[in-house]
Amino acid sequence: MANHPSAEKRNRQRLERTVRNKSITSSVRTAVKKARLAIETGDAAVATVAVKTASVALAKASSKGVVPDKTASRVTSRIQSQLHKLSSQG
């Protein structure tokens, strides 16, 4: 339990950040899941749009500090390479 006004304020800020970060993380995970599913189905046009959306979501989350930079870069790279494999097949 916070006993000082500054500690109480930090606790309030922590709670606000947690809610905001959870929302952003959830939307990023959903976008990445949709991109992977679109790649799996094999439709290159749909997959391209989904991968672009996921890449933007990851970049935004990374710039806000919600997702570590290297994690965002790694996930983006992997879905981009999967999309490239899909595009070069057909």
pLDDT in tens, 53-76: 999 999 999 999 999 999 999 999
Burial (CB count within 10 angstroms: exposed 0-12, middle 13-18, buried 19+), residue 38: buried
Which domain range does residue 10 map to? 5-89
H or E element, residue 60: helix 44-64
Domain count along the chain: 1
CA distance 35 to 62: 18
Are 73 and 26 in contact by the 8 Å Cβ rule? The answer is no
Instruction: Please state which of the ranges 1-5, 35-39, 57-61 shows the lowest mean pLDDT.
Output: 1-5
90 confidence band (pLDDT: 50, 70, 90): low
The torsion of the CA quartet 73, 20, 32, 47, rounded to 10 degrees, works out to: -100
- Assign residue 22 the CATH number of its domain: 1.20.58.110
